[in-house]
A and B are shown apart, each in its own frame.
Chain A
Amino acid sequence: MATERALGGGLARSGFPRPRLTPVATAYLVVAGLAIVGQIQSSSFLSFNHVAVLLGLTAVLGIASAGQTVVILSAGIDLSVGALISAADVLAVQWMHGDDAQLWVVLPILAIGAAIGLLNGLGIALLRISPLIMTLGMASIVGGFVLVVTSGESGAQPAPALEDAMTGKFLGLPGTLWAWIATAVVTVLLLRLTRFGRELLALGSNARAARLAGVSPTWTTLGIYAFSGLMAALAGIVLAGFTGTGAFGIGEDYTLLSVAAVVIGGASILGGRGGYVGTIAGAVILACLTDILTVADVEAAGRQIVQGVAILIILVIYGRERRLRTVS
């Protein structure tokens, strides 16, 4: 069983030809395909400006998905991402109150995000509550607390400095995109070069083997969920700056979208396989789909349906579990 995992899906399905394309490569092929469709639809799709704007719009999803990637790689899931994005968005706007002097509240908000993630990790690692239940419950708790803390008023405006940074451009690229690039670099380095990154992958592919090899499941799990909470809070702050408003429930959609981006990017929901480079493709695919459908005048309901169906199709292509017949 364990060896089978370690050897990879190709050998497990003996009798089938080993797939030539990895899921990540497939995801980037889909990106290319969508880009061609977009280019045919409107000739400016692949212009530098449009690509920069499109990627800038995707940044919030990309940042939130960084946390989700790390969680899913460890065979968990974080359904509190959306609630945390909403919370960070609303709190940022409330506490900044359109005042540049209040820009420092970014730090406590990030700390709150990490702390809530840490709570998720504590429940999952110590009380062994399933990640799904723990984060689903946490989403509800966070949503409730934000209402209590803000007395249900979302009002005001973020600090102008934040708004300028996120809506403006530097060196031709939108501010949100810079935030995403920074996040991406950190996440990829975290996964590839640090001990923590290797440990969480080990934990995701085989928790028992990882523990026997000296990985502390408790500490690693705590780190994983804290990172996810931190990323969600960061995404919320970026969203606050980008939209210039705070709105309850603004982040809700990002829970599904972040999971979708990770899975489309080729990561296995059972953990241990995938990476952030794939997730970036996943997020871009979702953004391109929305963009192309919007230009084609498909209404929100239709876009929603296409998005759901696209996730299912991609799942069918490379998200299927093994047949029980081939197990042990």
Chain B
Amino acid sequence: MSTAVARRTLAARPRVELVDLVIWVILAALVVANLQLNPSFLELDNIYFTFGSALALVLAAMAAGLVMLIAEIDLAIGAVMTLANVCIAAWAPESLPLALLLGSAVGVACGLVAGGLVSFLRLPSIIVTLALATVWGGVALYVMEKPGGAAPTELVDMILGPVPLIACVAVGIAWSWFSRTKTGRRIYGLGSDELAAYLSGIPLHTTKLIVFGVAGLLLGWAGIALTAVTGGGDPLVGNPYTLQAITAAVLGGISFQGGRGTLWGAIAGALVLVLITSVVQLSGVSAFYQGVVNGGLLVASVALSRLTTGRWLPLPRIAIASRKGSEDGD
């Protein structure tokens, strides 16, 4: 009984462990590797360019990580980004403010739908987001049947300048503040143990809704960044981002079981993925290996974190989206 009580203590503060710092070491190593292959890698223009091409994934990884913090999962990441992308390209090809507004609105709307279904109707997020991915994909096809449209020129110019770098740092700092607010603490509490969070009076529905809403906003922004990079709309453009964003979040030390990790880790994870891609390209390895590298990294990073934390023993704990309460005393 006493252990059960101890287990129910909320981890309200984001815990940073040594393992979480590994990702930054890997990031540094990749910067060195890139510098070896491309001496101008650390020139200002190139740094801007790197962040410009990474921004969409950074934001998507933050969204994936945020949802994972409350032990849910979002498999509609790519679809939401696609929807934001085609909406901008179809309806706001001229005006920058309209494009920003439209992207954010689409993202938040999609996020709230998913959040509502998961929190109020208590549906498992994995199937909800899989099904919503189909729905958003279909809506995107209605908006734009085949690649076309355009992005506002100011938006395209922006992605080449210092804006993406500033944006990455700004969202990171915003997260540092947000995670220390009451809502931020509640997110960690909810993620570590939903039942305990419920028993201590955390408003579960509202918190989940906020998480999905904010994640949706981030995905809308990711869609805007993606539009700036591609310069047009494409009803299939976001697809690869679902896997990559989750990989980045997992690489960055955010636990799939919820309640562990910070979104700075997700940012680092996303940058690591982008830099690995550029190393693979610069060193002339076939692009076919990209999928192998991405998938392998995802699995390897989880396996590694299991090994380093000593939790690798074959115990029968194979529940997905586990209600932690149902694992009592395990």
Q: Do A and B bind each other?
A: yes
Partner of A148, one of B124, B198, B288, B321: B288
Inter-chain contact A136/B298, CB cutoff 8 Å? yes
Could you tell me how many residues of chain A have their Cβ less than 8 Å away from some Cβ of chain B?
70
Q: Are A210 and B124 in contact (CB under 8 A)?
A: no
**Chain A 122-138 against B: per-residue CB contact (8 Å), 1 yes, 0 no?**
01111111111110111
Provided the pairs A76-B320, A147-B288, A323-B122 are in contact, do residues A308 and B138 lie with their beta carbons within 8 angstroms?
yes
Q: Are the C-beta atoms of B131 and A260 separated by less than 8 Å?
A: yes
A4 to chain B, nearest CB (A): 9
Near A by CB (< 8 A), chain B positions 124-142 give 124, 126-128, 130-135, 137-142
- A260, B317: Cα distance in complex, Å: 24
Of A76, A303, A308, A325, chain B has the most CB atoms within 10 Å of the CB of A308
Partner-binding segment picked from B153-161, B210-218, B225-233, B242-250: B242-250
The reply to whether B126 and A77 contact each other, CB–CB distance below 8 Å, is yes
A321 touches B134 (CB 8 A): no
User: With an 8 A cutoff between CB atoms, is A104 at the interface?
Assistant: no
> Taking A132-B73, A305-B138 as contacts, is the C-beta distance between A1 and B326 under 8 angstroms?
yes
Contact at B138–A137, with CB atoms within 8 Å? no
Residues of A within 8 A of B293 (CB): 144
* Given A127-B312, A144-B292, A147-B288: A311 touches B131 (CB 8 Å cut-off): yes
Enumerate chain A residues within 8 angstroms of B302, measured Cβ to Cβ: 127, 129-130, 133-134
Binds B, one of A107-115, A231-239, A312-320: A312-320
Query: Chain B residues with Cβ under 8 A from A309's Cβ?
Result: 131, 135
B289 within 8 A of A: yes
Q: Are A140 and B141 interface neighbours, CB within 8 A?
A: no
For B296, give the chain A residue with the smallest CB separation: A141
Q: How far is the CA of A129 from the CA of B198 in the complex (A)?
A: 27
Interface-centre pick from A76, A123, A127, A134 (highest chain B CB count, 10 A): A127
Residues of B within 8 A of A269 (CB): 124, 126-127, 320-321
Q: Smallest Cβ distance from B116 to chain A, in angstroms?
A: 11
Asked whether, in the complex, the Cβ of B131 is within 8 Å of the Cβ of A315, the reply is: yes
| Complex contacts, B139 vs chain A, CB 8 Å | 301, 305
State whether the Cβ of A266 lies closer than 8 Å to any Cβ in chain B.
no
Chain A: minimal CB distance from B308 (Å):
12
Give the distance in Å from the alpha carbon of A300 to the alpha carbon of B138 in the complex. 8
B32 within 8 Å of A (CB atoms): no
Q: Is the CB of A130 within 8 A of B320?
A: yes
**Which of these, B246, B292, B311, B318, contacts A124 with CB under 8 Å?**
B318
Kindly state whether residue A217 has any CB partner on chain B within 8 Å.
yes
Q: Which of A74, A75, A138 has the most CB of B within 10 A?
A: A75
Enumerate chain A residues within 8 angstroms of B314, measured Cβ to Cβ.
125-126, 128, 217-218
Q: Are B299 and A137 in contact (CB under 8 A)?
A: yes
Task: Choose among A129, A144, A308 the residue that contacts B299 (Cβ–Cβ < 8 A).
Answer: A129
Instruction: Provide the residues of chain B in CB contact with A140, threshold 8 Å.
Output: 243, 291-292, 294-295, 298
Q: By the criterion CB–CB under 8 Å, are B295 and A312 in contact? A: no
A139 to B316, CA, bound (A): 24
Residue of A nearest to B255 (CB): A130
Q: Name the residue on A nearest B73 (C-beta).
A: A132
Known A305-B135, A312-B135; further 9 A-B contacts with Cβ < 8 A: A75-B320, A129-B299, A137-B297, A141-B291, A144-B289, A208-B330, A217-B318, A320-B122, A324-B198
Residues of B within 8 A of A (CB): 73, 117, 121-124, 126-128, 130-135, 137-142, 145, 194-195, 198, 204, 243, 246-247, 250, 256-257, 286, 288-299, 302-303, 306-307, 311-321, 323, 325-330
25 chain-A/chain-B pairs, Cβ below 8 angstroms: A5-B326, A123-B303, A128-B312, A129-B303, A132-B256, A133-B246, A133-B299, A133-B302, A134-B302, A138-B299, A139-B243, A144-B292, A144-B295, A145-B292, A147-B291, A203-B316, A207-B316, A269-B320, A270-B124, A301-B141, A304-B137, A304-B138, A304-B141, A308-B133, A327-B323
